[in-house]
Amino acid sequence: MAKAKRWIVAASFALGAGMTVSARPARADLQICNRMSYVIETAIGLEEKGNAVTRGWFRIDPGQCRVALQGAVQADQLYVNARVRDVYGPSPLPQSGHADFCVAAADFVITGAKKCTRQGQNLARFTAVKPSEHAGGSRVYLAEDAEYTDEQARDAGIQRLLVIAGYDATPIDGIRGAKTDAALSQFLQDNKLANTAAGRSDFFDILLEAAQKPGIGFSWCNDTKYTVMAALGVEDKGNIVTRGWYRIEPGKCLRPEVRGHPLLLYSFAEAVDPEGRAIDKTLSWGGSQIMCTRHLKFELTEQTDCASKGLSSAGFASVDLAGHGGVTLRFK
């Protein structure tokens, strides 16, 4: 199972050799660049004289940069927050940072962002950043420990979504070897796409859609009218590792990333209200295998004495994968 990646915030200075400088001043826009193997959505926070404004979300594919603020940054401090799509499961981005500001689920601009005053707003942890100037303005890079280049980040992002979609493109390392090429070729063939489709600007949309369809491997599908939060248990070196929470919206499917070829998985899920509280015991799906969980995102390697460790517990259902090309659990 993939470990969470450390979120590295870095500023970069870059000027291409032989670049021609125009006599007309360039607009100094702020760009956020994604050198992670995840499609991310970012928000920025601007703080000046004790007041804070936040705005988001800006989607950025692996290996891409996007303008988040037009013109020079006019603030005492700049902050960045990032989140990943539900298809990736529990966020691989750490929740540590330097300040808590308000965000909303959809696109937003919030003034007075130190306090959440409207329904649908919640506090999120932002990290202080200091962008450096470059030829077209200023940039902030979001990166993983692997320190991918832009090209490697794109390749690693493709590998990660291929794996979630049920194709063996491991390891996720940003290196286009024969194994990745074979997985990509099979994906293109299965989806009736041209050999050049991986270079299309919307290719990550295609991969994200494919990763949310039931098919090869293990999937959850939510047939209820409620949001469902799910957790997964996978045996790893003799221990069962539980991981959650995976958010599955009504009418959607999600295929959690499962490394290797396990013959047995464990699943627990429950429907939740807009505040994240379990709705009813009749809207939970599990079994008799008691394992540890936590209210917030988690990855736990010990499944005994949950309460003494300050953890919750839930009954997981066993899911037999042996002899099956694909198994889908549907929540009804």
138 shares its domain with 13: yes
Structural domain harbouring 207: 150-211
Residue 274 lies in a domain: yes
What does the alpha-carbon distance between residue 258 and residue 256 come to, in Å, rounded to a whole number? 6
What single DSSP character describes residue 182? H
Residue 29 is which amino acid?
D
Helix, strand, coil shares of the chain, percent, nearest 5, are: 15, 40, 45
* Residue 39: partners with Cβ closer than 8 Å, 6 or more residues away: 59, 60, 61, 62, 84, 85, 157, 204, 208
**What one-character-per-residue DSSP string does 254-303 give?**
E-----S--SEEEEEEEEE-TTS-B--GGGEE--SEEEEE-SSSEEES--
* pLDDT tens by residue, the chain, 332 residues: 333 334 444 433 222 222 222 233 345 789 999 999 999 999 999 999 889 999 999 999 999 999 998 887 788 899 999 999 878 876 777 667 789 999 998 999 999 999 998 888 999 999 999 887 877 788 999 999 889 999 999 999 999 999 888 888 989 999 999 999 999 999 999 999 999 999 999 999 999 988 877 656 788 999 999 999 999 999 877 789 999 999 898 988 888 877 767 888 999 999 999 888 899 888 999 999 999 999 888 899 989 999 999 999 999 999 988 766 678 899 99
Among 211, 238, 255, the domain boundary falls at 211
Overall size of the chain counted in residues: 332
Whether residue 33 sits in one domain with residue 104: yes
**Is the same domain home to 138 and 157?**
no
The answer to whether residues 108 and 13 belong to one domain is: yes
pLDDT value of position 17: 27
Instruction: With respect to residue 34, please indicate whether it lies within any of the assigned structural domains.
Output: yes
* Domain co-membership, 206 together with 112: no
CA 41 from centre of chain = 9
Q: Does 2 fall in a domain? A: no
- Is residue 124 located within the same domain as residue 26? yes
245 within some domain? yes
Interatomic CA distance for residues 252 and 222, integer angstroms:
6
- The verdict on residue 90 lying in a domain is yes
The answer to whether 225 and 249 have CB atoms below 8 angstroms apart is no
Pair (136, 159) in one structural domain: no
Q: Quote the CA–CA distance of 50 and 20 in Å, as a whole number.
A: 41
Residues 192 and 301 in one domain: no
Number of domains the chain contains? 3
Q: Which pair of tokens denotes residue 74?
A: 């006019």
- 242 and 290 assigned to the same domain: yes
Shared-domain flag, residues 164 and 288: no
C-beta of residue 216 within 8 angstroms of C-beta of residue 168:
no
**Domain boundary, last residue among 184, 211, 238:** 211
Indicate if 114 and 192 belong to the same structural domain.
no
Task: Please answer whether residues 285 and 270 qualify as being in contact, where contact means their C-beta atoms are separated by less than 8 angstroms.
Answer: yes
From residue 114, give the alpha-carbon distance in Å to each of 57, 72, 83, 122, 128: 18, 23, 19, 10, 15
- Is the domain of 12 the same as that of 135? yes
Q: 164, 183, 211: which is the final residue of a domain?
A: 211
Q: Which residues contact 156 (CB under 8 A, 6 or more apart)?
A: 37, 62, 146, 148, 172, 173, 174
In a domain, 278, yes or no: yes
> Is residue 3 assigned to a domain?
no
Q: Is residue 88 part of a domain?
A: yes
Residues ≥6 apart with Cβ < 8 Å to 201:
none
